[in-house]
Amino acid sequence: RKEVEQDPGPFNVPEGATVAFNCTYSNSASQSFFWYRQDCRKEPKLLMSVYSSGNEDGRFTAQLNRASQYISLLIRDSKLSDSATYLCVVNEAGGSYIPTFGRGTSLIVHP
């Protein structure tokens, strides 16, 4: 059974802090990876794709470690508006394409 695991948190951090989440996946053949954020009772919204070389978008940095089968998300200078649940999504390789979501990591940024 293919699994995507995340620490549910919550991570409670003050404004301005740096926080990092990991997501582990079980299928070594997984091909593409994404981070989404989800606000309470809302739809998931794409935060960023995760590339093999790592990628950065403003305060957000995503990395992929294929050897250890995990992806990470680093948020610098946390804002109150970053409070949300962060979902890891892993897509399989080969003929079957079924995206697998993690349960999400809850982040609470407080003043």
Partner 1 sequence: EPEVTQTPSHQVTQMGQEVILRCVPISNHLYFYWYRQILGQKVEFLVSFYNNEISEKSEIFDDQFSVERPDGSNFTLKIRSTKLEDSAMYFCAISDRRNQPQHFGDGTRLSIL
Positions in the binding site for partner 1 (CB under 8 A): 31-32, 34, 38, 41-46, 49, 87, 91, 96-104
**Is 46 buried (19+), middle (13-18) or exposed (0-12) by CB count in 10 A?**
exposed
Cβ proximity to partner 1: between 18 and 103 the closer is: 103
Minimum CB–partner distance for residue 17 and partner 1 (Å): 26
By the 8 A CB rule, do 31 and 50 touch?
Answer: no
Cβ proximity to partner 1: between 67 and 98 the closer is: 98
Cβ proximity to partner 1: between 19 and 48 the closer is: 48
Going 92 to 38 to 111 to 15, the CA torsion angle's sign is: positive
Minimum CB–partner distance for residue 16 and partner 1 (Å): 29
